[in-house]
Every structure is written in C-alpha cells, then in structure tokens.
Structure 1
Amino acid sequence: MSNEVGHEEVTRVPTGTRQRLRQIGPGIMAAATGVGAGDLVATMVAGSRFGYVLLWAVIVGTIFKIALAEAVGRWHLTSGQTMLSGWRTLGRWVLVYFGAYAVVWGFVYGATAMSASGLPLNALFPGLSVRYWAIICGVLGFLLVWFSRYALIEKVMTALVGVMFVTVVGTAVMVAPNLLEAGKGLVPRLPDGSLVYVLGLIGGVGGTITMAAYGYWTMAKGWRSSRWLSMMRLDNTVGYVTTGIFVVAMLIVGSELLFGQPVVDGDTGLLMLGDTLAADYGQWARIPFLIGFFAVSFSSLVGVWNGVSLLFADWWRTWRLPAGAEESLADYDRSAGVRSTPYRAYVLWLTFPPMALLFLDKPFQLTVTYGVLGALFMPFLAGTLLILLNSRRVSPEGRSRWLSNGLLTICLVLFGYLAVDQLIGLFS
C-alpha cells in the first residue's frame, strides 16, 4: 500500500528494541508542535510564583496528553478512518465547528508562531527587528512544508527537539536545582491562587489542535492497522515524556532564578530570563537559552504548518463527501495529502495573511489570544474521542477501556474549566 501523505512505503512492524526506537517520530512531532512560547511563559511564571510546588501538575499534564494522543492514534489505526471522518459521523455541525475554528485559529496562530520565533533571533541579532525576523521564519517554514516530504520534516523536527532539550535541560542543570524541594513538588498541593497555573501547566505539555494531527503523521509514517498499536503507544509515550522533561526543566529555571520576583508576562519576561542568566553566569549563558527558545518556537511553527494543514485538507475532503458515502483511508490518500490544493491553500493562509498582524507590534497579545483559542479545542477533542472510541466504529481491540475513558473524562472536565476561565479572562 502506498501513502500519498508522505509518499512513504508502509513498512513491517518492528519487533526488536533498536528497530522500534528507530521508528519513533510522529510522537516527537506532535509533542514538540504543542509546546511553544506560551508554555515557556506559563511555566516560567508558575516557577517564579510558586517555586517547585506545582511540579506535580507537569507530571499530570504529561499523563493526560499521552492519553489524548494515544486515543487519536488508536482511532486512526483501528477504525480505518481519519479523525475528520470520525467527526463527520457525529453530525455536520462538528465539521462546521472545526472548519470555522481552523480558519480563525490559523490566522491568529500564524502571527503568534512567527512572532515567537522572531523574538529570540532579535535578541541574538538585534540588527533586524522582531517583525522582520518573524517574516523570515514564516517564509522558511512555508518553504519547508511546501516542498518537503514527511521524512525530511520529521528529521528537522527531531533535530529542533534535540536542540531545545539540550539547551533548556542544560540550563536547568547549570542553575543547580534543589532536589529536595523538587521532590516535595511531586506531592499534589494547591496554594492560594494557584488553580489557574495548575491548569495551565497541565494544558501546556504539548497540546492544542495539533494533537489531532498525530494520527495523520502516523499514517505518513506508514502505520495503517491495529498491528501498529504497540509501536504507536511507545512512540507517543516517548514524545510526551521528552517534552514533559523539557517543561520540568523550564519550571526549575523559573524556580531557581526568578522565585519571588515580579515577572513580566509574555515575550518580555522570557527575554528578562535571558538577561538574568547573563547577569548571574555571564553573557554566554543567555545564548543557549535563546537558541532553545528559538527551537521551541520554530518547531511549533513547522509542525503546525504541516500537521494542521493536513487536518484542513482532510476537512475539505470530508466536507465535500455526499451524505452516507462510505469512506476509507484510500480515499484520503487520493485527495487530502501534501500535494492537494486545500493543503497548500491552508499553508498559504497560515503564512502570508497573518503577517499583517505582525505590524501591530503586540506579540504578547497575540500569544494570549492564541492561548484562548487553543483552550477551546481541547475539551472538544476529549469529548469527541470519548464518543468515537466507545462506539462500533472501531474494532473491539480499539475501544476504550476504563483507564482511557477515565483519563479522557478528566481531560474533558479540566480543559472545559480552563476554556471557560480563559474566556472570562479575555473579556474581563
């Protein structure tokens, strides 16, 4: 069977440990795409206000994201349909919601991702303003996903994850974490005023609309049946544990360098952290952090440019299907891959119209707006997965058991609360 999404041949399911580790990739892409500058901000502020007390929330968030992404991957491997095909069975209103959401979200996120990628480059090379660095990053991401196949994009994303892991975890080691306090932080506690930060940390270990793209990346890898369930679960766990360690490292840096200090939210706060590193350890110390900051932001940009464009292309395909039409992954391969017109149209939409927002020179406000939009998608994803994976649309081995149902239900409640809180905060 051939695969139009990434033009990769379906491979045999690996059995040995070394072969299985070599197949890891989609989980890294999904987790890294979901962790962006906004998560750096939230984690840094949480560390500055509460120290290590909220470390447990990062662990919980990692578990929840593993559960959500596993459910997405399981749907693709055991239903014979894509995520959009599954949503279509719930009613046309779901497609209306997703289509409208994807258009609005993409416009705001395009500016947010470009701005977040431009900020550290401006700090490293101030001769060019944030605005123009952002435009350069947007064009580079555009060219990469427009002309490249999945295999190359996966390699680029894996390299960026390696850079951000080494730089940020290395910074955490350099600031000498208090292991005793970190250990205490594994015990769940809720200090006064910490609930919103807890929810932010739980939601910030790599997840928004990009989580729904995970199944499309597994298909691009050549994973097409329930035989790949074990491989998918390993891949998913490795990806989110890696980003979970990254977020823990960021919390350590915030706790050690900024605890008790007033921290400015947004991009200014992140750059302030770089200045603090320079003041405490020398100018050289800010460079790895800024490089890691760029790797985090640009990996999100590349992942969204590819993954959400695949989602949008499949949405267009699904929207145009006549009522009651039978669907298969072969139909998806023929009409919704990276060479399709809807895919390319959405890549263009993510890149060029949002550049107008860059001239507002308000990157933090863009990040806040993106955070609100992102929060609205997570309860939708958890709720629809609960319905789909307990239906006859999946084979018996793909249906959710008590653990998956329990975690998805908790995700639905927590992310629903976070979405309401974000909306109240936006309007107040």
Structure 2
Amino acid sequence: MLVAATGVGAGDLLTASLGGSTVGVSILWAAVVGSVLKAFLNEGIARWQLATGTTVLEGWARFGAGLRYVFFIYLLGWSFFTGGALISACGAAGDALLPLSSEAETSRRIWGVVHSLIGLGLVWYGGFRLFEKLMAACTALMFVAVLFTAVGAGPDWGAAARGLVLPSLPTGGTAWVLGLLGGVGGTVTLLSYGYWIREKGREGSKWLKTCQADLAVGYALTGMFGMGMVLIGSTLSLQGNGLKVANLLAQRLGEVMGPAGYWLFLLGFWGAVFTSLLGVWEGIPYLFADFLRIHGKQPAPQVDLRNTRAWRLYLVALALVPLPMLWAPLQRAQLAYAVVGALFMPLLAATLLVMNNRRAWVGALRNNWLINAALVATLLLFVVVGANEALEAIRKLQGP
C-alpha cells in the first residue's frame, strides 16, 4: 500500500491520461510492464537488505565513498524539486475541491502551504502506525475513485483488451509509452521500502516471500491506477500540460458522467497527490539520516533512524524549504535537473545487478535468471527513458 500510494503521483496520472487521450488504449500494456519492472527493482532492494541486514546505501558504500556522495548531492536537489512539485500538486487539488480565494493562484498557494504543514504534523506526531493507516485510507479512496471513473467513462473495452494483451507502438506514441514505462511507480521513493520493512520488524531471509507478496499487491495496484487513467483519457479530448489538465479532466468527466464523475475524479486526484506527499515526507528523511549514520560509521542496530535529529531536521526541511516554488517560476531549473535525475533508475538497476549476484555478499538469496533478466531489461529501458528525458530537457533549455 505504501509503495503504491507513494509511487503514484500527479505526474503519473496526468501522463497516463494525456497519453490515453492522444494515442488511445493501445498503450495500456506500458502501464503493466512499467509496474512489473519497478516491482523487480523494489524486490532487489528488499532482497539485498534481508540478505545482508544492511540498507542499499550501505551496499553502495562497498563501491567506494564517491557513489554515496554523488547520490547525497542528488538527493538534496531531488528533494527540493520533488517537494515543490508535490506541494504545488496538493495546492491544485485542494483548490479544485474547495477554492479559498477568488484568485486561483492565491488559493493554490494557500492550499499548498496547508497540505505541506499538515503532512509535517501528521508524520512528526503520528508515528509510523498512523502513517500506515492514513496511507491505506487515501489509497482506497484513490483506487475506488480512479477505477469507478474509468468504468463510468465508457471506454472501448474491446480495444482496451487488445491494447493490454497485444503490445504495440502506435504512430506518434513512443514518447507516451516511454513516459508510462518510466514514470509509473516512483523513483527515489523506491529506496524508502527498505526502511519501511525495517519498521515492520522484517529482518532475515525468511521474510523474502512476504516482501515479494507485498510488492506484487502494491505494483498490481500501481498498474491498475495507470491503466485506469489511460482508459479515462481515451474517452476525452485533452490538450495542455501541467496541473491545469487535472481541472480539465474533471470538467470533461463531469460532462460525460455528470457531477458524480467530476467529484469522484477530483477526490481520487487529491488522494493520489496527498499520499505521494505523505510518503515522501515520511520516507525520504530516512535516506538523509542513514547517510549521516554511515558517514559517522555507526552500527545500524544501535541507531533508530526515525528518532534521530537528522530524520526530524530533514522532515522539516522537506516541508518548508520548497515552499517558495509556489511563487517562483523554476521551470528552467527543473528542466536542467531532469538531465541529472534521469541517471537514478539506471544506477539503481546496475548496482542491484552487481550487489545481488555476489554470493559472498547475499549468500542463498542470490538472484536467479528471471530476476537478472528483468533487471537487465529494466536497466536498458531506463537508459533509453533517461536519455529521452535528458534530450527533451536540453531541447527545452535551448529554446526561447
């Protein structure tokens, strides 16, 4: 549940809906394949931690300090831009549900600040158990809203079945396929899973089957969310980009399904973006705190990361530092950062291939041929996706 809720955000839902509107349901298969590949990546994270008792960050330390420090710098930038994007998305979702001002931008900013501070309070004071319950409730809302809306929108079910079982690359659909394959299921947030299973007390190889079942459910939900948004988009004529598309989607669905379609979609959209914000506020501080623990050479069993000053400091920073993005136009900075951000998924796939194939490191939990094949496919895919995103960002940066 936590993986699915954190990994599905506004960008994924809007990409899927715009893709469905542009090229139709022929790209449904990409939502499924993208979810499966992300599941193998996350399984690799769990496999490493259960086999070694150490986090992926500690595993990267075996390649030398350089890799760890590069990731740390990347994490700081990723946190700022992702935090800002999530706050803006929550602001847009809140404004769509209940405008607080006659000026949309003012309402969006107020709601963005409110969501960020509420998320900070819930994560700081609520503890991991409350976090689990909140995420489960919001995920259920998101799941029901998106799937009911998809069914109510009345897509072409015959074409949808063909798009699911007969993979094809429609004319002009390459970018949308790559967007679905690469976007669905999260990026850096995958690393949070290792810390969450530790919070659940899962240690040792006996828990691998449980984690595999865990991830199968989580990414099945992720795939269904992606497919649902493609189906919704396929019934509508959409143009534009960014969060304005969410309002346009709701209006179009209101025309097709009546008020129920309008409000159902807006509730589902809010559930998607708020769970992403909560998941990042809860999960990413672990990475910062773990980096400092490793740097200080403190043994993991002696440090409860969630109760460290570093964890709480980074949580506060996530909630407050990106707030200026509600006012400042940072499009070019975000585009430039996309060039660097495109490197993360290939890095994770490549290092897991090395780490989880060394019997001296992981023992009996060494990868089998199927997992290796999936990781190689994931590595190749994300090299292509990353190159595509980087080139697109460079083209936009060079534009007027």
Q: Which amino acid aligns with 1:276?
A: R
1:342 aligns with 2:310: yes
Contact 2:143 2:268 in 1 (8 A): yes
CA distance in structure 2 between the aligned counterparts of 1:146 and 1:224, rounded to whole angstroms: 25
Q: Which amino acid aligns with 2:53?
A: G
Q: Matched residue of 2:286: which SS?
A: helix
CA distance in structure 1 between the aligned counterparts of 2:373 and 2:218, rounded to whole angstroms: 22
Structure 2 counterparts to residues 263-274 of structure 1, below 5 A: 263-274=239-250
CA distance in structure 2 between the aligned counterparts of 1:175 and 1:112, rounded to whole angstroms: 28
Contact 2:45 2:191 in 1 (8 A): yes
Quote the residue 1:214 is aligned against: 193
CA distance in structure 2 between the aligned counterparts of 1:393 and 1:132, rounded to whole angstroms: 53
Q: Matched residue of 1:338: which SS?
A: helix
Structure 2 counterparts to residues 20-59 of structure 1, below 5 A: 28-59=1-32
Deviation at 1:423, TM superposition (A): 1.4
1:62 aligns with 2:39: no
Contact 2:16 2:229 in 1 (8 A): yes
Query: With structure 2 as the length reference, what TM-score do the two structures score?
Result: 0.93
Contact 2:189 2:283 in 1 (8 A): yes
Structure 2 counterparts to residues 132-147 of structure 1, below 5 A: 132-147=110-125
Partner of residue 370 from structure 2, selected from 392, 395, 403: 403
Contact 1:95 1:319 in 2 (8 A): no
CA distance in structure 2 between the aligned counterparts of 1:78 and 1:137, rounded to whole angstroms: 38
C-alpha offsets along residues 199-252 of structure 1, whole Å, 9 cap, x if unaligned? 111122212000111111111111011011111110111011011111111110
Count how many residue pairs are aligned between Structure 1 and Structure 2: 389
CA distance in structure 2 between the aligned counterparts of 1:370 and 1:283, rounded to whole angstroms: 39
Quote the residue 1:11 is aligned against: none
Contact 2:338 2:393 in 1 (8 A): no
Quote the residue 2:156 is aligned against: 178
Q: Matched residue of 2:26: which SS?
A: coil
C-alpha spacing 1:83/1:241, structure 2 compared with 1 (3 Å): same
C-alpha offsets along residues 300-356 of structure 1, whole Å, 9 cap, x if unaligned? 1111111111111101111222xxxxx7xxx22433511111111211221111111
CA distance in structure 2 between the aligned counterparts of 1:367 and 1:276, rounded to whole angstroms: 29
Q: Matched residue of 2:155: which SS?
A: coil
C-alpha spacing 1:366/1:152, structure 2 compared with 1 (3 Å): farther
Instruction: Give the superposed CA RMSD.
Output: 1.8
Quote the residue 1:152 is aligned against: 130
Contact 2:254 2:260 in 1 (8 A): yes
Deviation at 1:284, TM superposition (A): 3.7
CA distance in structure 1 between the aligned counterparts of 2:191 and 2:348, rounded to whole angstroms: 8
C-alpha offsets along residues 146-201 of structure 1, whole Å, 9 cap, x if unaligned? 12221211111111110000001010111123221011102111123322211111
C-alpha offsets along residues 99-147 of structure 1, whole Å, 9 cap, x if unaligned? 1011011111111111111111101211241011001000011111112
* Segment of structure 1 superposing worse, 392-401 or 343-352: 392-401
C-alpha offsets along residues 82-104 of structure 1, whole Å, 9 cap, x if unaligned? 11110111111111111101101
Quote the residue 2:398 is aligned against: none
Q: Matched residue of 2:113: which SS?
A: helix
CA distance in structure 1 between the aligned counterparts of 2:360 and 2:254, rounded to whole angstroms: 56
Quote the residue 1:319 is aligned against: 295
Q: Which amino acid aligns with 1:382?
A: A
CA distance in structure 1 between the aligned counterparts of 2:292 and 2:183, rounded to whole angstroms: 29
Q: Percent identity?
A: 38
1:239 aligns with 2:206: no
Q: Which amino acid aligns with 1:360?
A: A
C-alpha offsets along residues 246-266 of structure 1, whole Å, 9 cap, x if unaligned? 1111110001123xxx51111
Q: Matched residue of 1:395: which SS?
A: helix
1:102 aligns with 2:78: no
Quote the residue 1:250 is aligned against: 229
Contact 2:40 2:374 in 1 (8 A): yes
* Segment of structure 1 superposing worse, 155-164 or 280-289: 280-289
C-alpha spacing 1:40/1:369, structure 2 compared with 1 (3 Å): farther
1:424 aligns with 2:391: yes
Q: Matched residue of 2:307: which SS?
A: coil
Q: Which amino acid aligns with 1:335?
A: V
Contact 1:141 1:301 in 2 (8 A): yes
Deviation at 1:367, TM superposition (A): 7.7
Q: Matched residue of 2:190: which SS?
A: helix
C-alpha spacing 1:367/1:281, structure 2 compared with 1 (3 Å): farther
Partner of residue 227 from structure 1, selected from 206, 210, 213: 206
CA distance in structure 1 between the aligned counterparts of 2:38 and 2:363, rounded to whole angstroms: 23
Q: Which amino acid aligns with 1:119?
A: A
Q: Which amino acid aligns with 2:272?
A: V
C-alpha spacing 1:421/1:267, structure 2 compared with 1 (3 Å): same
Q: Which amino acid aligns with 2:94?
A: L
Q: What runs of 5+ residues in structure 1 fail to find an aligned partner?
A: 1-27, 322-326
C-alpha spacing 1:371/1:200, structure 2 compared with 1 (3 Å): farther
* Greater helix fraction, Structure 1 or Structure 2: 2
CA distance in structure 1 between the aligned counterparts of 2:265 and 2:340, rounded to whole angstroms: 28
Quote the residue 1:125 is aligned against: 98
C-alpha offsets along residues 371-407 of structure 1, whole Å, 9 cap, x if unaligned? 6665331111111111110113533321111111111
1:412 aligns with 2:379: yes
Q: Which amino acid aligns with 2:126?
A: S
Q: Which amino acid aligns with 2:228?
A: A
Quote the residue 2:104 is aligned against: none
Q: Matched residue of 2:367: which SS?
A: coil
Contact 2:23 2:172 in 1 (8 A): no
CA distance in structure 2 between the aligned counterparts of 1:297 and 1:333, rounded to whole angstroms: 34
Query: With structure 1 as the length reference, what TM-score do the two structures score?
Result: 0.87
Quote the residue 1:304 is aligned against: 280
C-alpha spacing 1:103/1:133, structure 2 compared with 1 (3 Å): same
1:392 aligns with 2:364: no
Q: Matched residue of 2:169: which SS?
A: coil
